[in-house]
Structures are given as structure tokens and as C-alpha cells.
Structure 1
Amino acid sequence: MSDTEPTVDDSTDSALARRIDDLNRIVYRFRQNPMSVVGLAIILSFVLIAVFAPWIAPYPSDAGHGGEPAVHFDQKFESPSADHLFGTDQAGRDIFSRVLFGTRLSLKIGVVVLAAAVSIGVPVGLVAGYVGGGVGMTLMRITDVFLSVPPLVLALSVSVALDSSLTNAMLAIAAVWWPWYARLTFGEVLSVKKETYVEASRGIGATSFRTIFRDILPNVLAPITVKMSLDMGYAILVAAALGFLGLGAQPPTPEWGTMVSQGRDYLPGQWWYSTFPGLAIFLIVLGFNFLGDGLRDMFDVEVQ
């Protein structure tokens, strides 16, 4: 072997260096948008709150940690103070503790809804875009039927048809969301399936399954990831809307939309009851929107 011939270790080091450079460029582009950094900080804060809620909350039993939520009628409707930062509700429960535990529910809703929507929508879009023909047209027409109905109306219809519960609310929202991922994936597959690497995969006799999931899917993940980051906040907002209308989580579950709905009956006197859960909804949706904008700039993609 000559002195100038590259070794395996040299090739590995070179590949690693390229990946580090690519990562540095991605991070740099993300940091160019200050709002994306703010969004990331907000979301990380909510995640930490969700994880450590039992230790952060001053009255975890008021949120139902370990059983049914406690009641303290002798402390009902106390205004915000050092003992109860967000005040108390009509049962004397600490609203600050309930908002903290509500973070867990909201993030759970977002994760479950998007996981279900992506699990249905992305495969539908992949198959429709890659196979095309009658199969693709049929799948896209079914998708268009769902897209023709306003999302909140469809979610309300599904929720009404089922019993009002947190699980059924998540199913209803997932039924609304999957068509958007099917349509997005379909468009992305159409734009990449004529690329040289896809044709080469076909040329060497790769199966359709291998071509779709090894060659096409990794190259359409960027816009899907961006849309997921944007949709997380919207899914939480829709779940809160269902809870507000009494079609989502039911009392005494510490879900933000349900708490806002209960608190409206006591406005404006006990303003803190609705205000603080509403602010939590506002902040988490704002955080995901900022984060999604940053990811879109970082990947430089367009989402539907």
C-alpha cells in the first residue's frame, strides 16, 4: 500500500468530519432565528415541568396524583398568594399544581395524536405517490374527502359520536390530522421518485418496499418533521377546545381546556381560575410555532 493511499480509518474520520460540519451548519441556521431558540426554550421548559411535576407541584394531591383529586372546601376561591401562586378553584384545589400536571396531559395528547396521524398519513402518502395510477388516485380521493370537512367540525363530530373522554378526544383529533400528512407525503414522493438514486434502486432489483422505506422516506422526512413541530401546538389547542366544550377530558381531570371552561362560570370575580390555564395553552402553542418556524428555516423546506 502506498503512503498516499487512504485507509479505512481515514475514510471514517473524513465521513465523521463531514457529519460534524453538516450538524454545525444546521445548528447555525437554527440559531439565526432568535424566535426559534425562544421556542425551543419554552418547549424544553414544559417538558421538564411534565417530567418533574410531582416534585415541583406544591400540592400534587390536588391534581389527582396518586388517586382522585383532593378537595378543600374551606379554601375555595382563594386569590393568588404565596401559598397558592395561581389561587384555588371552587373545590379549594391549588390551580398551580393542577396546571403543572395539565402539562403532562397536553404533551401526551400532542404526542399520541401526531404519532397516530403520521402512522396513518405517511404510509398512505408513500403508497399513493410511489404506486400512482388507480391506487394512488383512490387513496388521494379518500384523503380529499377528509380534507373537505373543516378540522374542528370533524373532530367535534367524532367526539359527539363517541363518549366524552380524553382517549376519544385524541382519536377524534387523529382522525382530523392524518389526511394532511398523507397529502404532504404524496407531494414530496412525487418530487423525489424520479431522482437518480430511486431509479438506481429500481435498476438493481430492489423491492418496492425497500425503495419506498429506505430510499424515498428518509428524503421526505424534513418537511414531515417541520409539520409535526408546527402541528403539536395546534393538536394541543384543538384538544383544549374539545375539553372547553365538554367533549374531551372530563372534570376533575386537570386538563387546561376543561379548567378554562369551568373557570368561565366564575368570571370576572375569580379571574385566576381561567387565566392561568389559558396562559399555559398560549405559551405552549407559541413555543411550538416558534420552534416549527426555526426548523423550517433550518431545513429550508415548505410545508402544506
Structure 2
Amino acid sequence: MSQDTTTASRFEKRREDFDRVAYRFRQNPMSIAGLAIIVALLLIAVFAPWIAPYPQDAGYQREPAVHFDEKFQSPSLTHLFGTDQAGRDILSRVLFGTRLSLQIGAVVLAGAVAIGVPVGLVAGYMGGALGMTLMRITDIFLSVPPLVLALGVSVALEPSLTNAMIAIAIVWWPWYARLTYGEVISVKEETFVEASRGVGASSLRTVFYEILPNVLAPITVKMSLDMGYAILVASALGFLGLGAQPPIPEWGTMVSQGRGYLPAQWWYSTFPGLAIFVTVLGFNFLGDGLRDMFDVEVQ
């Protein structure tokens, strides 16, 4: 068989695999709904400066404007989500908060994957005393409830958005280490890995060219599921005053500020809270769809 024929055959197989998994994704209505929500959130994050009716009220890159003569206006055509105690438009702040929340989730998961996946790869492939030691360290972190550990790290550090992201990444990496470890254990004895060793490939090449590509699917699914939870934990830290600090338009911080004015000014906390709810729901739907599409199980 010629090389061109072999290449065409591989391409055809990959296309059939893609068509099969895409069909699974389309068969799940919640997956489509989740994808639509996430695409909408991404568009809002990108175009927030242009679609926010009062971008100067968001204070994303500078101090927000204040309009004390317009404070606590209820939802209306002028201010669809109402205004806060400083007369700032809540809709504009929620829209800019979308950009901030997605940034938090992306940074947290990037940090967690950057730590957890290499730890799991080394522990699973090398095994022995090194693998056992790395997994016991991982188990120590996993033994503490995630929110409690994040609170402890945040209290130890100065409350800020950056420190909140560091705290959540410290909480999250052990889950990726454990997941990667389990996947590597199940893959490293497969025939194609043995063949790679048999032709004299180095351990580094075997891990990154043979094992890692075959464990990316469950890692990707877990990342899609965890994105919403990372945003939720960041919002919880902001709500408790240990995350983003006012006047940064972070949803959890806005909910915390608005609770002091309930129930009279109900809109202050309600709309940022709904934004958190929709975002977490969207990532959960998308993650469930990806899990069905790749036919994998994640912890």
C-alpha cells in the first residue's frame, strides 16, 4: 500500500470519528443549549465595551463614574437592571463582569492543569516511590474541602482578585493530578506504548507523543465542567470579601454589596446572581455534552 493511500485512509478514519462524536453531541439538546450560552458569554465578554449602555460605570480599567443623583433606580428602559448605591448602571457592570469571570475561570484552570497534569503524568508513568509520594501529596490536598482550602489560602494572602485566582488554582490542581494519574495507569500498558518503548523511544517522547494525546479527552471534559465551578468559587470568595475588591465589577462582590439593601433594592443582588447561575449552567450543559461525545467518565 502506498504512502498516499495510507494517509488518505487515516484521514477518512479521523473524519468518521469526528462525524460520530459530533452526532452524539447534536443528539443532546442540553449540549446545544450549553454551547449557545457559552458562545453568547464569549461574545458579551469581547464586545462589552460596545454593548454596555454605560461603559464608564463599569470601572474595568479605571475608577467607575458615580451618579449619586441616580442611585437605587429600579429597572427601567433607561437602566434595564437598575442602578446601585452610587448610581452606576448594573447592566453595564454585569456585562463587564462576564469578561472578568471568564478570565478568572481560564486563568484558574490553566494554572490547575499546568500543575496537576504533569504531576499525574510523572506519577502514573514512573510509578514506584516517586509516584506514590506524588499521589500521597495529592491526597492530602484532596482531603480538605475545596472551598475551605480556598478560604484558608485567601485569608493567608491579601484579599485581591489575583490572590483569589492563586487560591483557587491551588485547590483545583489535585483533581487533575488524580484524573491524569488514573488515565495514564490505564494507557501505559497498551500495545502502542509498548511498541514505542520497543523501538527505543525515550520516556519523554513516549509520554508526550503516545500517552498524553490519549488522556486529553477526559481532561478536556473536566475542564469544561470545572470552568463554571471555578467561577462559582471565585464569586463565593468575592461574596465573602476575600476575592475581587470594590469597585471591580465582579459578580460575587456585587451580590455581596447588594445583600445589605435587600429586599427594597432587590435588583442589585438579583441580576449578578442570575449571571452566575446562567454561566455555571451553561458550562455544565456543555461539559455533559462533551462527556457524552467523547464517551468518557470524569471524577
For this structure pair, what is the TM-score category when the shorter chain's length is used for normalisation?
Answer: over 0.9
1:67-109 Cα deviation digits (max 9, x unpaired):
2110000000000011101000000000000000000110001
| Equivalent position SS for 1:266 | coil
User: Residue 28 of structure 1 aligns with which residue?
Assistant: 23
**Higher mean displacement: 58-67 or 204-213:** 58-67
Q: 2:206 aligns with which of 206, 211, 221?
A: 211
Q: Which residue pairs with 1:3 in the alignment?
A: none
Deviation of 1:66 (Å):
4.9
Within the candidate set 45, 52, 56, 1:50 is matched to: 45
Distance of 1:209 and 1:14 partners within structure 2: 29
Within the alignment, does 1:289 sit opposite 2:280 as a pair? Answer: no
- Matched with 2:35 is 40
Partner of 1:142: 137
Q: Could you say if the C-alpha distance between residues 198 and 10 of structure 1 is closer, same or farther in structure 2, counting changes exceeding 3 Å?
A: closer
Structure 2 gaps, min length 5: none
Aligned residue for 2:260, secondary structure, equals: helix
For 1:274, the aligned partner's letter is: S
Q: CA deviation at 1:65?
A: 4.3
Map of 1:271 onto structure 2 = 266
Give the letter aligned to residue 53 of structure 1.
A
Cα displacement (A) at 1:212: 0.7
CA contact (8 A) 1:233 1:288 kept: yes
2:153 alignment partner, one of 158, 161, 164: 158
| Match of residue 195 from structure 2 | 200
2:182 maps to 187
> Counterparts of 2:208 and 2:9 in 1: how far apart (Å)?
27
The answer on whether the counterparts of 1:54 and 1:65 sit within 8 Å (CA) in structure 2 is no
2:57 to 62, 80, 105: 62
Match of 2:115 in 1: 120
Aligned partners of 2:60 and 2:249 also within 8 Å: no
Question: Which runs of no fewer than 5 residues in structure 1 stay unpaired?
Answer: 1-5
Q: Distance in 2 between matches of 1:172 and 1:97?
A: 28
Deviations 1:206-248 (A, max 9, x none): 1111111110000001111110000000000000000000000
- Size of the alignment, in residue pairs? 299
Amino acid at match of 2:51: I
Q: CA deviation at 1:14?
A: 3.5
- The answer to whether the 8 A contact 1:251-1:258 is kept is yes
Partner SS, residue 63 of structure 2: coil
SS in 2 for 1:293: helix
Among candidates 106, 110, 115, match of residue 111 of structure 1: 106
Identity across aligned pairs (percent)? 80
Match in the other structure for 1:222 = 217
Mapped to 2, the partners of 1:249 and 1:113 lie a distance apart of 14
> Letter of the aligned partner of 2:284 in structure 1?
N
1:89 is matched with: 84
Q: Is the 1:50–1:104 Cα contact (8 Å) retained in structure 2?
A: yes
Deviation at 1:12, TM superposition (A): 3.8
Q: TM-score with structure 2 length normalisation?
A: 0.98
- Cα deviation 1:159-218 (Å, max 9, x = unaligned): 000000000000000000000000000001110110001111111111111111110000
Displacement, 1:15? 3.1
Q: CA RMSD in A?
A: 1.0
Counterpart CA distance in 2 for 1:257 and 1:65 is 15
Question: In terms of mean alpha carbon deviation, does 14-23 or 97-106 score higher?
Answer: 14-23
Alignment equivalent of 1:99, drawn from 94, 102, 113: 94
Counterpart-to-counterpart distance in 2, 1:8 and 1:217:
26
Question: For 2:155 and 2:9, how far apart are their aligned partners in 1?
Answer: 58
CA deviation after TM superposition for structure 1 residue 26, in Å: 1.3
